[in-house]
Structure 1
Amino acid sequence: MTATTTTTGPEPSASPDLSKPVGDPPLLEVRNLTVTYGGTVPAVRGADLRVEAGQKLGIAGESGCGKSTLALALLRLLPATAKLTGEILLDGEDVLTMKWGRLRAVRWAGASIVFQGAMHSLNAVHRVGDQIAEPILLHNAKATPAAARRRAGELLEQVGLPAARAQAYPHELSGGQRQRVMIAMALACDPRLIIADEPTTALDVMIQAQILRLIEQLVADQDVGLIMISHDLAVLADTCDRLSVMYAGRVVEEGPARQVYAEARHPYGRALSAAFPRIGDLASRRAPRGLPGDPPDPAALPGGCTFHPRCPVALDSCATEDQELREAGGERRAACVLVDTPATDDSRNTA
């Protein structure tokens, strides 16, 4: 069943004809999700995602491509001005049709989110241990305050912080420590899915590496699904199993993470990959290349393929003909008219 909804009241609508997966349903399946602000501004346009238990899915793209809007939409955390259509199936149950009580039960317990910017996500006037204990008390009627505080200490130790730091206020912790607190909070109710929105933003390289390894280990140990959102294609390729690249609110490429990073089939994916330095004798001689321009304003999207004004290999038809995701070999798909043409070294160099 497909739902058309705002944050205040879902209304059913017609469902697209999509083939059903064989066997057990995935942990999360997003079908043709759209998010529109103010009734006219499309922030997410027909996104499809699939995450299995124990799988790590990366979502990449520049700022303004719709990544954070997509993350918040998965748990209906967007403002009332946002209109959502499509399906968000969590363990086979559509988040968009859930009543408020059911939705509240699913948040943190079924799926949790590590918000972008830990300092702004934590309450500055409450100790971090109390903030971790709060969802435990909300979702477990049998939990006592003392038991919730003990569990908060255990979670802090699980993410590499002393249990005694539960008594600290957010401003008393470093950026890396605050991010660990956010991860501990996301694990508090043993969710099956964790959504991490830019979990290493503003962290130095060493702390970033520690946080990424921590997330990987937690996913492996607890067999949870992970969606990690970042503009950094290299980080996602190193951390995730699969990778979806977003541009102007749409997924324009998807496939095994390392393959997409090493040899993207969409010009935008190639441009993102080329923006990061490679370590190695030959690669180190080539400086990273930037991509001119910015993502389009969602309120004034160009016609045809939305990437064509910035695309170094665009054809005349790209200005008038939009492109849907199509098979690109193996388990990969890309939304480009040239996807059937093998990418050459020259075309990658110009992206």
Structure 2
Amino acid sequence: MTATTTTTGPEPSASPGLPEPVGDPPLLEVRNLTVTYGGTVPAVRGVDLRVEAGQKLGIAGESGCGKSTLALALLRLLPATAKLTGEILLDGEDVLTMKWGRLRAVRWAGASIVFQGAMHSLNAVHRVGDQIAEPILLHSTKTTPAAARKRAGELLEQVGLPAARAQAYPHELSGGQRQRVMIAMALACDPRLIIADEPTTALDVMIQAQILRLIEQLVADQDVGLIMISHDLAVLADTCDRLSVMYAGRVVEEGPARQVYAEARHPYGRALSAAFPRIGDPASRRAPRGLPGDPPDPAALPGGCTFHPRCPVALDSCATEDQELREAGGERRAACVLVNAPAADDSRSTS
């Protein structure tokens, strides 16, 4: 992984949005993270996250909501035009203050990422086995090239591919096979955290199911933390323990994944859930419903609650008053003034 990021700004205080930790510190804790491009365009705005070892956190939202920027920010893989402030505590150590040598040591070994679009992430002129072996050699000076190649074959078998496929070039593999190679590469240095950015993009539903089950099994077997990013709320609800919904660079709802999917407290979360058919549930047979409009341009965010121009239940005050995450019952929080009000009729979201 190679990229540079400018990190400036005063050290932030602990965010009031996260509850006080109990017991051992989490594997990953993100506090009040902001990412600004060009000094004026906020792509991520005050995000708080927490991931425990063995926990699967899903991050959902439409394209343009800041999900991939957030994923890349966690390992400082953004371009130099991006300014980051806040804290990204990986095993208690702030990624944003790491020196370059320490950051290189953390990438792949402490945390790794499965990038969106395997064909564009793999090098077309190198065999996949050599690409898997590369981070092993970089992070272990005592490992020989022969041992690294052997380990690459073992990793391919771990993700359901024959070790002999290490000799293949990316174009010789199917989409699902390339995605498995990316997962094998992410596991190469035994990281404690895996970030999967749209790991099933462009795959058919059967291959999607295989990749998702593979990821779940690997997380369970190796007790690693997982952050899975997707626009597909149904996939995240089926795969993850907890779910954070992002809109316009901020988390607008979070809680247990199945609860957020089944009964979202924020109007945007309800709209995302309504966009997917409920198969096999006679009580909820209905056509999927769309949400008119698009996420706002980060360079021209609306005043007040950024979702209010598209919100079917917006109040007059929503155009001027921003909403922070607030308790929504149990382990759930939502950034909506109506979060504790009776369920509102949001039928206007039907397209």
Measured against the shorter chain, the TM-score band is over 0.9
Q: Does the CA contact (< 8 Å) of 1:4 and 1:13 recur in 2?
A: no
**What's the CA shift for 1:22?**
2.4
Q: Deviation per CA, 1:213-252, whole angstroms, max 9, x where unpaired?
A: 0000000000000000000000000000000000000000
Q: Does the CA contact (< 8 Å) of 1:5 and 1:96 recur in 2?
A: no
Q: Are the structure 2 counterparts of residues 321 and 55 from structure 1 closer, same or farther at C-alpha, using a change threshold of 3 Å?
A: same
Q: Are the structure 2 counterparts of residues 246 and 164 from structure 1 closer, same or farther at C-alpha, using a change threshold of 3 Å?
A: same
Structure 1 partner of 2:101: 101
Q: Are the structure 2 counterparts of residues 285 and 15 from structure 1 closer, same or farther at C-alpha, using a change threshold of 3 Å?
A: closer
**What's the CA shift for 1:8?**
9.1
**What's the CA shift for 1:7?**
5.4
Q: Does the CA contact (< 8 Å) of 1:26 and 1:52 recur in 2?
A: yes
Output the CA distance in 2 between the equivalents of 1:150 and 1:162: 12
Output the CA distance in 1 between the equivalents of 2:148 and 2:101: 22
Output the CA distance in 2 between the equivalents of 1:329 and 1:217: 31
Q: Are the structure 2 counterparts of residues 323 and 8 from structure 1 closer, same or farther at C-alpha, using a change threshold of 3 Å?
A: closer
Q: Does the CA contact (< 8 Å) of 2:7 and 2:85 recur in 1?
A: no
Output the CA distance in 2 between the equivalents of 1:346 and 1:81: 40
Query: Structure 2: which 5+ residue stretches go unaligned?
Result: none
Q: Does the CA contact (< 8 Å) of 1:152 and 1:188 recur in 2?
A: yes
Output the CA distance in 2 between the equivalents of 1:303 and 1:244: 23
Q: Does the CA contact (< 8 Å) of 1:4 and 1:12 recur in 2?
A: no
Superposition RMSD on alpha carbons, in Å? Answer: 3.1
Q: Are the structure 2 counterparts of residues 167 and 18 from structure 1 closer, same or farther at C-alpha, using a change threshold of 3 Å?
A: closer
Q: Deviation per CA, 1:309-332, whole angstroms, max 9, x where unpaired?
A: 000000000000000000000000
Q: Does the CA contact (< 8 Å) of 1:248 and 1:295 recur in 2?
A: yes
Q: Deviation per CA, 1:107-166, whole angstroms, max 9, x where unpaired?
A: 000000000000000000000000000000000111000000000000000000000000
Output the CA distance in 2 between the equivalents of 1:187 and 1:13: 33
Equivalent residue of 2:12, what SS? strand
Equivalent residue of 2:87, what SS? strand
Q: Does the CA contact (< 8 Å) of 2:137 and 2:143 recur in 1?
A: yes
Q: Deviation per CA, 1:151-194, whole angstroms, max 9, x where unpaired?
A: 00000000000000000000000000000000000000000000
Output the CA distance in 1 between the equivalents of 2:180 and 2:20: 38
Q: Does the CA contact (< 8 Å) of 1:3 and 1:96 recur in 2?
A: no
The percentage of counterpart residues that share the same residue type is 96
Equivalent residue of 1:264, what SS? coil
Output the CA distance in 1 between the equivalents of 2:13 and 2:208: 43
**What's the CA shift for 1:280?**
3.1
Q: Deviation per CA, 1:20-79, whole angstroms, max 9, x where unpaired?
A: 412210000000000000000000000000000000000000000000000000000000
Could you tell me the TM-score, scaled by structure 2's length?
0.95
Q: Are the structure 2 counterparts of residues 332 and 198 from structure 1 closer, same or farther at C-alpha, using a change threshold of 3 Å?
A: same
**What's the CA shift for 1:6?**
1.3
Q: Are the structure 2 counterparts of residues 281 and 195 from structure 1 closer, same or farther at C-alpha, using a change threshold of 3 Å?
A: closer
Q: Does the CA contact (< 8 Å) of 2:15 and 2:48 recur in 1?
A: no
Q: Does the CA contact (< 8 Å) of 2:313 and 2:344 recur in 1?
A: no
Equivalent residue of 2:10, what SS? strand
Q: Are the structure 2 counterparts of residues 154 and 289 from structure 1 closer, same or farther at C-alpha, using a change threshold of 3 Å?
A: same
Structure 2 partner of 1:130: 130
Q: Deviation per CA, 1:253-298, whole angstroms, max 9, x where unpaired?
A: 0000000000000000000000000113535641000000000000
Output the CA distance in 1 between the equivalents of 2:16 and 2:262: 34
Q: Does the CA contact (< 8 Å) of 1:2 and 1:86 recur in 2?
A: no
Q: Does the CA contact (< 8 Å) of 2:279 and 2:285 recur in 1?
A: no
Q: Are the structure 2 counterparts of residues 247 and 2 from structure 1 closer, same or farther at C-alpha, using a change threshold of 3 Å?
A: farther
Equivalent residue of 2:50, what SS? strand
Q: Does the CA contact (< 8 Å) of 1:111 and 1:195 recur in 2?
A: yes
Output the CA distance in 2 between the equivalents of 1:4 and 1:204: 34
Q: Are the structure 2 counterparts of residues 310 and 211 from structure 1 closer, same or farther at C-alpha, using a change threshold of 3 Å?
A: same
Output the CA distance in 2 between the equivalents of 1:77 and 1:234: 28
Output the CA distance in 2 between the equivalents of 1:317 and 1:187: 48
The range that moved more, 160-169 or 19-28, is: 19-28
Equivalent residue of 2:86, what SS? strand
Aligned length: 351
Equivalent residue of 2:211, what SS? helix
Equivalent residue of 1:345, what SS? coil
**What's the CA shift for 1:15?**
8.1
Show the 5 A alignment for 1:147-162.
Answer: 147-162=147-162
Equivalent residue of 1:2, what SS? coil
Structure 1 partner of 2:225: 225
Q: Are the structure 2 counterparts of residues 113 and 345 from structure 1 closer, same or farther at C-alpha, using a change threshold of 3 Å?
A: same
Q: Does the CA contact (< 8 Å) of 1:260 and 1:269 recur in 2?
A: yes
**What's the CA shift for 1:307?**
0.2
Output the CA distance in 1 between the equivalents of 2:14 and 2:62: 32
Query: Structure 1: which 5+ residue stretches go unaligned?
Result: none
Q: Are the structure 2 counterparts of residues 296 and 284 from structure 1 closer, same or farther at C-alpha, using a change threshold of 3 Å?
A: same
